[in-house]
Amino acid sequence: MSLLKEIQHTAQQVAEAISAVLQIETEIVDNEMTIIAGTGKYKELINMKEEEGQIEAGYLYGRVIRTNQPFFVEDARNDPSYDPSVLTGGTEELAEVCAPIHYEGMVIGVIGLIAFDETQRRSLVMNKLVLLTYLQRMSELLTSKIAEQAALNKWIKTTQKLEVLIGSIHEGIIAIDENGLITNCNETAEQLVHREKQQLIHTPIEQIWPNSPMLEVIQTGKGYIQQEEHYPLDQHEMHFIVTARPIIIQDQVVGVVATFRRMADARRLAYELTSEQKDLYFTEIYGQSRALSLVKKQAEQVARGTSNILITGQSGTGKGMMAAAIHSASNRRSGPFIIVNCGAIPETLLESELFGYASGAFTGARREGKAGKFELADGGTIFLDEIGDLPLHLQVKLLHVLQSKQVERVGSNRLISVNIRVISATNKDLEEMVRTKEFREDLFFRLNVIPLHMPPLSERTEDIPVLMESFLTKYSQMSEHSPLHFSPEVRRAFVSYHWPGNVRELENAIEYAVNMTTSPYIDMESVLPRIRNANSTRLPVMVEADEQPLKAMLQDHERQILLEMLRKYGTGLEAKRIIAAKLDIGLATLYRKIDAHQIIAEEHVT
């Protein structure tokens, strides 16, 4: 790489200055033998090769570069080591003094003074030591310029890297000087304040953010971290969370740099980092009963809308799962899904949890205030479980949020816009509560735009075997238990039980049985006593006819017969021949029935 090439214009100026002072021609070449600058005939040869570009040929400039030594040629026309053209008698030069140009310990070129007439030759001979010193000073001048250019290139590269880095940051960045004028910003800042960069630069921060605390930082030299700030924007409001730090040089504040993001984005990020709620889909709500299929179909149909939904049903029927599935199927799936159990939070804390509070709102409040659940749900869905337990005075505030899509924090009169969808759930009769004045009628109609009812397990007993298998797989894996199976008696007992706690009670019962069993089968001894005792009051084998469709009963009975036969005779080919013969069916029919009932052979090896 030719460093002299980067300062070629300066090198030419130096060469011309030397010639003007000394009245002698000057030539500068780089370490690749390219003529960088020159006067007289050398000016016409700029960018061409000196000494045919052969550094190793042994001629003058090549020797200077290789040996890092200055040379003086007193009689150039008779010196065969001076220039290739001497051998053919073609050289015009009479004498020359030249010196290497150094940069960071390396030879990067040669600077030479050349005599073309006798007067110039005598001057070189008489003043060669002085001229050599002079050339060394000129060499230092050139290398200082190279160092300056290198520093400039490095600064430009660093600046470009910094610009790319600042531009890639997802937070907005604004810098102001000691006079409060904006000196720089990134693309994110342009988007957040709805102004282009050229409109922002040299604009007082006061015009963009009136009464900005950044101006206090200039005066005090003390920055601040994660502070909420509100600024007007047309008919709306910019709500940011801002961190500002002073720029201090020699104990003087010369500016401030602020990073900021929309408060809604900060809340969403906090939710994503702290929430363990996984996406849940309709396919994960198990059951094929007509009652469940109908409500799932309704929920899928309304999921992509924006209307509020009220889910009713007994405790444990899966209202929370249905709400989560609706959110996952909605256009808000990328936003937060915030769950609030209105019955589990003490009434004294519920208001601040739902609506947030301002700085100093009450004793013990955070100095910076706190966003409520409605603000956290901005851009997503808020699920208000056990809505029937919401106190009357908070029902008024909730109604205001639903009507205006704005939240007012406790201790503040500032309204904060929120973009939310509300899904509520209750196991209470809200219509009866409206009649008894325990629940506001206007709020009920706001919440109950789309009603969904989760059927109790007693109304979908055909789903019980499916749920049993699902929960058995779940808790067997969690407890690292070997594969388990239900005995026919347990299956019958679970199908005939009335399940007042619904799916939640069924799941808990399976978890209990998995932990209590000591064999590969879950028998009646591993079942909760209340289920075992309830079963003893019923017929030991058959369930009541109105509890299950006949087809489902026959299929379940057939499956149990196949399981018992496989356990008794085995799962090999010969065992299956015996089973087919005893059941008076063909072997192919037996295989077809085993596949239809999804009986895996490995399940029956004991």
Continuous H helices in 405-525: 430-435, 441-447, 464-478, 488-496, 502-516
- Residue 165 pLDDT: 72
List, for residues 224-277, the tens digit of each pLDDT value. Answer: 988 888 888 776 678 888 999 999 988 899 999 999 988 777 766 655 554 555
- The Cα-based distances of 544 to 358, 538, 549, 556 in angstroms read 60, 9, 10, 14
Long-range contacts of 312-315 (CB under 8 A, 24+ apart): 312/425, 312/426, 312/427, 312/430, 312/451, 312/452, 312/453, 312/454, 313/425, 313/427, 313/453, 313/454, 313/455, 313/456, 314/427, 314/454, 314/456, 314/502, 315/427, 315/501, 315/502, 315/504
List, for residues 464-508, the tens digit of each pLDDT value. Answer: 999 998 898 888 888 776 667 888 888 988 998 899 999 999 999
Question: Which range in 48-52, 145-149, 381-385 is most confidently predicted, on average pLDDT?
Answer: 381-385
- Residue 526 pLDDT: 87
CA atoms within a 13 Å half-sphere pointing along the CA-CB vector of 131: 30
- Residue 534 pLDDT: 76
Quote the tokens at residue 481.
């238990």
pLDDT surpasses 60 at 601? no
Residue environment code for 236-274, b if the CB has 16+ CB neighbours within 10 A, otherwise e: eebbbbbebbbbeeeeebebbbbbbbbbbbbbbeebeee
Pairing of strands 521-522, 406-408: unpaired
Helix, strand, coil percentages (3-state) for the chain, rounded to 5, are 50, 20, 30
Residues composing the chain: 606
Q: Return the SS3 of 286.
A: coil
**pLDDT band at 149, cuts 50/70/90?**
confident
**pLDDT band at 14, cuts 50/70/90?**
very high
- Residue 361 pLDDT: 62
Rounded to 5 degrees, what angle do the CA atoms 55, 60, 62 make?
Answer: 15
List, for residues 521-568, the tens digit of each pLDDT value. Answer: 888 888 898 888 876 654 444 444 445 567 677 777 788 888 878 877
**pLDDT band at 602, cuts 50/70/90?**
very low
Quote the tokens at residue 598.
């999804």
- Residue 547 pLDDT: 54
Q: Which secondary-structure segment (H or E) carries 407?
A: strand 406-408
- Residue 362 pLDDT: 60
pTM above 0.75, yes or no: no
**33 close to 54: Cβ distance less than 8 angstroms:** yes
**pLDDT band at 422, cuts 50/70/90?**
very high
Rounded to 5 degrees, what angle do the CA atoms 171, 174, 176 make?
Answer: 160
Residue that wins the pLDDT comparison between 110 and 578: 110
Pairing of strands 182-185, 172-177: antiparallel
Q: Return the SS3 of 364.
A: coil
Q: Which of these ranges, 249-263, 365-379, 436-450, has the smallest mean pLDDT?
A: 365-379
**499 close to 457: Cβ distance less than 8 angstroms:** yes
**359 close to 368: Cβ distance less than 8 angstroms:** yes
Mean pLDDT value across the chain? 85
